[in-house]
A = this chain, B = another copy of it.
Amino acid sequence: VVRNGVFGGRIADTVSRFGGEVIPIDLEWGTVVTPEEIRKAFSRNRCRALFLVHAETSTGAHQQHMREIGQIVHENGALFLVDTVTSLGGTEVKIDEWGIDAAYSGTQKCLSVPPGLSPITLNEKAMQKLREKKARSWYFDLGMIEEYWNEGHQRKYHHTAPINMIYALHEGLRLVFQEGLDARFQRHRRNAAALQAGLETLGFTYLVKKQNERLPMLHAVYLPDGLEEGKLRQNIRARYNIEIGGGLGEFSGKAWRIGLMGHSSTKDKVGRLLNSIGEELKKHAIIDDATIGFQTAQAIYQNSER
């Protein structure tokens, strides 16, 4: 299990609760794992699976080299398991091309559907593993659920489905399809670039040091010196009706997590946020001109439209 943030740590906890032996690959938060580190881990241990988070929501780190990592995992006869909660619908997730055997996501991130469902995917190899022995959890017994949804099986009742959520997911996916994946990913990248430029102009710095490892949909940033993060977040919420996430885990009370996900990833929202932050920073005399963040973002949009 790659632990480079809250959610990698949570996976390790979950695996050990079920009696699995966890071999952690511990990294500095805000970084991602390299293929070399994966190779090293396999050379030292006999691992049956590699589990990693594609988009670490606690730090904004965007796992790279997924295809190469998938190859290393399979060369070692292991399963490649991936958390795609924050990435699905906002950036490329290539299950088969990357050799992912099983992945899960959530509906409430870049699909812009209410929370309450977890889309999952498993290939035949992963399903065979599941069928080998009875699951400890009745609720999570995918072998039983397979008897409901798989072709060639009688639809055997497992649970009452949350039908309203499924209608919501259908509508969310329809909108994704209508926009097109490429256009959607480009929109996320464009708004991310504008927000990043604006935030940096305002004196914010990113937890993830390498620019190419930053997520377009989750911006985890340290504030300029001399500001109390909780107070500032509360003010922005009260005065401008914008909710910003606080830091998770070791970044609690130290950093912000700004979401630009799905339908919320718009030029208008980037502008409103940067102006709101600008107004507050001006009050604290951190900057003289409240609009400098917004202006930088505008320039990025103009460049990208040329």
A106-B162 Cα distance, complex, nearest whole Å = 11
Cβ contact within 8 Å between A138 and B14: yes
Whether, in the assembled complex, A43 has its beta carbon less than 8 Å from a beta carbon of chain B, the answer is no
A115-B165 Cα distance, complex, nearest whole Å = 9
Shortest A158–chain B CB gap in Å is: 10
Whether, in the assembled complex, A10 has its beta carbon less than 8 Å from a beta carbon of chain B, the answer is yes
Cβ contact within 8 Å between B138 and A108: no
**List of B residues within 8 angstroms of A18 by Cβ:** 136-137
* Residues 79-111 of chain A, each 1 if its beta carbon lies under 8 Å from chain B, else 0: 000000000000000000000000000101000
Copies of this chain, complex-wide, total 2
A106-B108 Cα distance, complex, nearest whole Å = 23
Whether, in the assembled complex, A114 has its beta carbon less than 8 Å from a beta carbon of chain B, the answer is yes
A10-B158 Cα distance, complex, nearest whole Å = 10
Cβ contact within 8 Å between A137 and B17: yes
Shortest A52–chain B CB gap in Å is: 17
Closest residue of chain B to A157 (Cβ to Cβ) is B248
**List of B residues within 8 angstroms of A165 by Cβ:** 114, 116, 162, 164-165
Could you tell me which A residues sit within 8 Å of B by CB distance?
Answer: 10, 13-14, 17-19, 106, 108, 114-116, 134-140, 157, 160-165, 168, 248
